[in-house]
Amino acid sequence: EVAMFCPMICQEVIHKGVGSSKNHAISLPQRVNPAMFSLILDYCRFHQLPGRSNKERKTYDEKFIRMDTKRLCELTSAADSLQLKPLVDLTSRALARIIEGKTPEEIREIFHLPDDLTEEEKLE
């Protein structure tokens, strides 16, 4: 049931008949490591159950995305690879809040990005 919440996995299960046994395992994209897949399954399990209020979902989501930036980026990438739009949207909004109001230098520091601008480009 949880797999049906995720379009990429749903396609594997329904259209290709995989996931029914060890011999027919679901193949995950390379960007989806076991730790991220476990988090994604937790997210899907919570959200696929009927009867949850919007307040419960919002509270869960707020707690769910409390993680370091590196892990949040990995989760966004994994969710995108699995075409799980609600989780991509949630994690993307969280990343946007992290960089909101930051200078380019601060953003590079947050994401451990190299400063590849020349002095001339920095003056522009």
Spell out the SS3 assignment of 60-73: HHHHHCCCCHHHHH
Q: How many CB atoms lie within 10 A of CB 7?
A: 13
Q: What is the pTM of this model?
A: 0.77
Residue 64 CA: distances (Å) to CA of 47, 77, 111, 123 = 12, 16, 20, 40
Do residues 6 and 82 touch, judged by C-beta distance below 8 A?
yes
Do residues 84 and 6 touch, judged by C-beta distance below 8 A?
yes
Mean predicted lDDT score pLDDT of the chain: 83
Q: In this prediction, what percent of the chain has a pLDDT beyond 70?
A: 78
List the chain domain ranges. 2-123
User: Which of left, alpha, beta for 51 (phi over 0: left; psi -120 to 50: alpha)?
Assistant: left
Q: CA–CA separation, 25 vs 23, rounded Å?
A: 6
CATH H-level, domain 2-123: superfamily? Potassium Channel Kv1.1; Chain A (3.30.710.10)
pLDDT tens, residue by residue, 20-75: 445 556 677 788 898 998 899 889 888 888 899 999 999 999 999 999 999 999 99
